[in-house]
Amino acid sequence: MHHGQIVGTISLELDVNIRELLYNHPVAHIVERRSNGRPVAYIPILAVDESFRGQGIGFSLVKEALQTVSRPVLSIGWVKPDTGWMAKAIFDRLGFERIAIIDEFWYADSVIKQYGCPYCGKTWCKCTADIVLLDAARSIDH
């Protein structure tokens, strides 16, 4: 909150279906193995108002969300052809591990569900996904 105004938002989904989320991509097995079959949380939404970016708000939102769970946390970065993945620095700094970088990750899904992509501008999305995981074995300082 900034003078009563909401400047950023994050959401954390507990116990997500890894295989469904990763479109049954083989990388799901790596995530499951790294998590020792434990439930995995997922961050579907992270956004900070444009005029408030670059002040550490995004970093704080992720850091605080992590403190609410002790399970592994997964995030999928939507890598844009020009600007890359804006939240990459945040996840790297918080110790997330790179599980895989997958080209055209959303391609089949975009064809099946018939959506175009505003980022790559292709009829069917050809963007790359950056899959990162924060291991549950981390120590959390409450």
Residue 9 corresponds to which tokens in the numbers above? Answer: 């938002």
Q: Which residue has the tokens 């434990």?
A: 38
What distance in Å separates the CA atoms of residue 51 and residue 105, rounded to the nearest whole number?
30
Tell me if residue 109 falls in helix, strand or coil: helix
Closest to ligand COA by CB, 18 vs 130, is: 130
Give which of Zn ion, ligand COA, none residue 119 binds (C-beta under 5 to 8 Å, depending on kind): Zn ion
What distance in Å separates the CA atoms of residue 68 and residue 51, rounded to the nearest whole number?
27
Closest to ligand COA by CB, 47 vs 65, is: 47
CB of 10 to ligand COA, least distance (A): 8
Q: Is 101 in the site for ligand COA (CB under 6 A)?
A: no
Q: Is 117 in the site for Zn ion (CB under 5 A)?
A: yes
Give which of Zn ion, ligand COA, none residue 58 binds (C-beta under 5 to 8 Å, depending on kind): ligand COA
Pairing between β-strand 128-134 and β-strand 73-79 as defined by DSSP bridges: antiparallel
Give which of Zn ion, ligand COA, none residue 132 binds (C-beta under 5 to 8 Å, depending on kind): none
What distance in Å separates the CA atoms of residue 96 and residue 27, rounded to the nearest whole number?
16
Q: Which residues bind ligand COA (CB under 6 A)?
A: 46-48, 53-59, 77-78, 86-87, 89-90, 93
